[in-house]
Structures are given as C-alpha cells and as structure tokens.
Structure 1
Amino acid sequence: MQNNSDTIRWTQITPSTFMYGSQLQFKEDETIFKNALMPSGIVIHEWQMMTQYTADKMIPTLPILKRGQTYHFSFDYEVEPADHIYFKLIFKRRNGTEAGTQIIKGHEADVVYPKDAFSYVLQMINAAAQDIRFRTITIGPHEGDALHQQLSISEVVNEDQTLPVRNIIFVEAQELSYDAIRNMKNVIGIEHWQQVEEETVFERLSPLVEEFSHLHFIGYHEASNEMAYQMAEKFGGTAFITHHHAQTKPSFPSRGGTERVVYMDEEKDAMQSLGIVENLLNPSRFLKYININQLNGGRHDEI
C-alpha cells in the first residue's frame, strides 16, 4: 500500500457471515443485510487479509499493511437503529496468536498497525441492528502528522490470567527497566503518550481493558501521574500515583471523585532523597514503593 487508498466491499458469503434468519442482498453499489432477531455481540461478516482458499473457499479482501504505520479507516454504511453496529480489528502474529485488537465505533478511525503483526481481520459486529446498508470500507494513509503513530502500547507483561486486573503504566521520558515492574502482574506499558491527544490514548486502551473489573493506571512523576489520574477518571479505575502533580493543578489528595492511591507522599520522598542529587535519579525508582499485593488484586484501602 503506497499513497493510494484501498476500497473494500462486501461481495460474498463466507463461513463467518451470519446467515441464520438473515436476508442478504448484493447490489451494485451496496449490500443489504436484515435480521431483526440476531443477538448482539455476534459477528455479521468478517474480512481477512490472508486466507487458505482450499479450506476457506474465499479470497483475501483486505490490503497488506506496513508494520508500525498509521492508517485511516473510513466506513460508508447506514444502519437502523443508528449506531447499532461496530467494527473490530484483530491483529495476529505469524504463529496465529493475537497481537492486539481495536474497537471502532462510528464511521472513521485511525489505526496503528502493530510492529509484531503478520496479518489482521476486520469484523462487523451486531449491536441490536435490524437493517444494514453497507457500501464500502476505505483504508488509506494517515494524513495527519507522524506523531500519532509514535504511541506505543506493549503486550501484557507478567501475565497471570487468574487475576481480573490490568496494571497500565504511563512511561515517562526516561527508559523504564524491567526491574521496576518485575513483581507486578498483567502490566501494559504506554510509551510516547505525551505526543498524542488524551482521547487517542483512551480510544487505543478501550478494547484492551474492557473485560477487566480492576483497572489500575500507574504514574510515577508529574506528567505520568496526571495522565494516570485522567485515565482512571475516564475508565472508572484507580490511579496509583506519587505526590508529584502539575503546578497548575491542586494536589491529588485535595481532588475529589476519582479513586486513587498515593503510594509516595512528600514526606517519604524527602526521606528517601536525603543526601542524593535529585536530578540524577530516574523517577521510576518510586515504583518500588507500591504495595504489590494491593496492585495485583488486593483491596484499594490496604496500606
């Protein structure tokens, strides 16, 4: 894919197409799908970048994308009731394991193709729709500045599937070593978030955390604390932060609403930094003061 856009249509019935009780009509300029009794959350149709024709009896319908590049997806359709379908991108590694997902609600979205992705599929999913008039999906190069594609979200580190928690760390400018998170479970690292809008971070994180009941957003200095606090507020999670905050804003203990744990206060900070040149220290050192039992699934009022 160079500087051109690719247009994807819905022109065939595949094994993924939901046909039970459905009325499906292919026209020259659109595809009409009707099914008033179809359950929500079910895939209506799926487009794939790679297929095995002998097994799938279908040809690939999605363009090959470049790893690490940002693309603009535009969806041309009408649905009744309005906004009652959404799309899901699933990125896959060469071995078939999942490299990430992105939920798209609405008619446009920017998508960063993961650096470890080998292929991807695009699903159209029902959300109590009754009548869909689908025309095209257009995939083209991102027209904005290059800063957007710098946002980096890691895979889950130290994964423990028995814990219903995600620990999301907003990495400051200095490198974050593995030692700083060695004892933390289900960690997702967010890098270069300073370069993008807050809403972009929210949109990219949403599909990664939607199934977890305990969301912990972790900061360890001024900028990352503020972002962790904002994301905790948006997602209804808990912010794990130090006392450092933006000079234009009140201290975290004096703010209301969002649940937070201040794991390093000014008094403890002063004692730990006594006799040490502050500027020589990496702020990620504060992470060792987090109550690990609390972070990995304990009660938020544990100290």
Structure 2
Amino acid sequence: MSTYKIVDDAYGKSGVKLLHIKRDGPVHSIRELEVSSQLTLSSKKDYTEGDNSDIVATDSQKNTVYLLAKKHGVNSPEEFAILLCRHYLSTYAHVLKAQVQVELYPWQRIDADGKKHNHAFVFTPVATRFCTARMEKNGIPTIESGLKDLRVLKTTQSAFVNFVNDDYRSLPDASDRVFSTVITSRWEYSTVNVDFCKAWNTVKDAIIQVFAGPADKGIYSPSVQNTLHLTEKLVLDSVPEINYIEMILPNKHYINVDLSKFKNVGFAHNDTVLQPLDKPSGNIRAALTRTLVSKL
C-alpha cells in the first residue's frame, strides 16, 4: 500500500496592480507596482481534507497590498516586499513562510523647459525592475533583486573568433560584428540594510558601462561570455552588500544582407544594411559569487 506526503506547497494572489501617489504639496511622486504573494501554512488540511478554516483568502492578500500601501507608502519594491512578508508572518500564527514578488513599472518624471515636472510622468521602459522577498516564521528576510528587458546594441568593438573548428562548424570568424542582447539579471543581498534604489541603479550602470565603454572609443568585447563576467565582477566590486549575481544574455543577431547577387543594382560590399534575426539565437548565462579567502 502506498502512502503519500505533501513535500511542498504554497498559494497566493498574482498580478495585484497598484499605483501609489506620494503628494508633497504640488510635487507628486508615483510608484506603480505589480505584486504577487505566496503563503505556506502549517497545516495541509485544506489540501487533504478540504478544510478551508486556515486559509487566508487570496482576495484578502490582494486587499492587504492596498491597505499596507496606504498605511506605509511605497519607497522601494524591496522594502514593500519585506513589509508584506513580515505582515503575513506576524499577523497569522499558522503562516510558516511568505514570499512576495514585486515588479516596478518604469515611470520617470517629465522634463519641461529644463525642469522636472511636478506631477507629470512618461513611461520609459529602458529596463524593468523586480524583486522577491522570502521569509520564514521567526526568520530574517532574504532579498533577490533584478532587472529584465534591458536591450542594448553596439555596432562595433565586438568579435567572436578562434572557437572550435570541427566538422559541424559553418560560422566564420567575426573580427568586427554588431553586438546586441536583451539582458536579464538577478542578484542576492547578504543583508536587508541596503539602499535598494541606489544599489539597483549601480548594477544597471555597471552593465551599461562594461557593455558600451567610453563614449568616444567604446570597449572591446572578445565574446559575450567575457563581457558578462567582467560585468558581474564590477557589480560585486561596486556593491559589497551583493553576494551573488546571475546574468542571462541571449544573442540578438544582425546579419549583413548579401547585396552582391543583384548584378546591376547591388553592392559588392555591405556593412550598413543588416537583417535582424530573432531565432535561433545563442543564450549565454553565468553566475558569480564571493568566495572566502582563508588566512594562513
């Protein structure tokens, strides 16, 4: 006879959207969020017996997001996620674990006549900021932050040569190519005593710095792998509170269109008209963490 055990479970509310307006006289600030929460209870009777008496309804979780935003405001996504985790664990004795994910919509204040507008904003999706807070009963929160959809491109100072040359290779060496990718990165903090907004901007700036280099001459990239590693190293060097970072860089290929086959109107050489190719694409991923150096 078989016996069974529930080894993992959680339930919650996804996609709770919220716009919070902070009004300081005529100057307003906004945070638009999408929040998802997950709770794990001490009892499994809701699953095994159909007994709902311990369930904090997902609708109640949705209402909690709105009520805590009204009561405490929204400073950073990370701080709001921690606030929600602590609320669930302190309010309900039978909630053992709480996880809250927050995605921040990228609004920026409009520049008008050289000045920042008091109450008007423009949606500027350079990158999307997100975070996840996890916490257990009587524990401390762990925070993972990240960014996604950061699309970058440079037209030179990128190469890919000297890779394996075997019977399956058809790709030629490329000593000068377009380098484009859509970056996703996530990182973990060793503490919650962090200026999360400053840290997030530092990571974003490090990614762009290593990718682009100085404005006049750029920076050479021998491979996506090397650029990725140098970026992660700069992040760990720049933000001591980060102990782990992961980056995913898919190639967004741009291929020179062959115009030489058009006998009467074509061009023997073409490096100005390129065709974007979405699929298939390379996908490069790596993670970097700090290691302890032993003292002899």
Task: Tell me, yes or no, whether TM beats 0.5.
Answer: no
| Higher share in strand | 2
Taking CA–CA contacts closer than 8 Å with sequence separation of 6 or more, which of the two structures ends up with the larger relative contact order? 1
- Give the alignment's TM-score, normalised by structure 2: 0.28
Structure index of larger Rg: 2
- Give the alignment's TM-score, normalised by structure 1: 0.28
